[in-house]
Amino acid sequence: MDDHGELIDKTARQLVEEHNPRTTPLQEFFGAVYDAGLAWVHFPVGLGGLAVSRGLQARADAVLQGAGAPNPMTLNPMGYGMAAATVLEHGSPELARELLRPLASTEHIWCQLFSEPGAGSDLAGLATSAVLDGDEWVINGQKVWTSLAHRASYALLIARTDPDQPKHKGLTYFVLDMHAPGVETRPLRQMTGQAEFNEVYMSDARIPDSHRLGAVGNGWRVAMTTLMNERSALGGTSPVRGNGDIADAVELWARRPDLQTPVLRDKLATLWTLAEAQRLTDERARRAATSGAPGPEGSIGKLVICELSQDIYEFCMELLGPEATLYGDYTLRDVQLFEDDRGPVQQRFLRSRARTIEGGTSEVLRNILGERILGLPGDLRVDSGKPWKDIPRG
């Protein structure tokens, strides 16, 4: 481990010397990161990694970001956080070589086509269909709440290939070209004034069978790879003490001494302590991680940090008092990346409301933790074992 850690440090330092992240174009810089094996250090050599422990990624990130590189998760969140691991584990070697480098360089932004109007938290109930026609699949259906679909080159798509099977068994997983004929994206205006989420319509869109991930009918298992990585990514915190959402609250507190009270000081201290405990817990989990895929334990971090984020911005609103209602410019704004328009703290408060929904609701995560970590009995499921086509749908 120490030898591998020294290799990571040396490789990262050499990279930033040769490609200054403050002056090198982003795609060129992150392409070099991929070529050096520092995009995902636990990936195989030649595919963005060095075949070492996943826990060493934090060492690479510390050197790169310490030299001024942005966090790639803010540039291509679905790509880095979900797509890369899913493509590597379930795609063909040829597909991985085709897709991973432009994903890592941020040339290709990715999105995730899972949720539907009639299948949000009940993902396995989805109705989007995929029918095999020669060596292509014909896709018809609608997805919704798709972050960055309007900017994405590729999407992770799960669709129903056998309606005669129970809902978890008749699914197949694909990579969809978002610029293919028959794919239409419509941005959805949010209460922040932004259009970060989208609805996506697929009308006889075609996907080559070579862009299928996993076996036909095995889409649920592939989707679990995506979801476990997503929740691990959403539950991750900054390795720097005091960074992240809590930094917003501390900055606002320091800037507005006229609004400070002893009660609010106690609340801020409590929130800072909780944020630091979450950061240290996440750091410990990162260091203990191996090359294996994240398990259901990743739901813990996602659950905690997303609810804490809401508490932090509620504190900010309480501190501002009546000023919290002054939002400012509420014109519709196109959002390219999650972090490119932070806006006022009021905007961040409104955006935080989505945190406990996206990537699995807090209710779903508590079920996962109860059933798969604590071994508690599962919920009663009246549709268990029934063919999907026979399950009543609204």
Angle between helices 245-255 and 262-288 (to 10 degrees): 150
Q: Which residues contact 283 (CB under 8 A, 6 or more apart)?
A: 58, 237, 239
DSSP secondary structure, 238-307, as one string: -SSTT-THHHHHHHHHHH-GGG--HHHHHHHHHHHHHHHHHHHHHHHHHHH--SSPP-TTHHHHHHHHHH
Cα-atom radius of gyration of the chain, to the nearest Å?
22
* Whether residue 230 lies in the annotated active site: yes
DSSP secondary structure, 1-45, as one string: -HHHHHHHHHHHHHHHHHS-TTTS-HHHHHHHHHHTT-SSTTSPB
Cα–Cα distance between 111 and 99 in angstroms, integer?
A: 14
Catalytic residue among 230, 276, 283, 323: 230
Show which residues are catalytic. 230
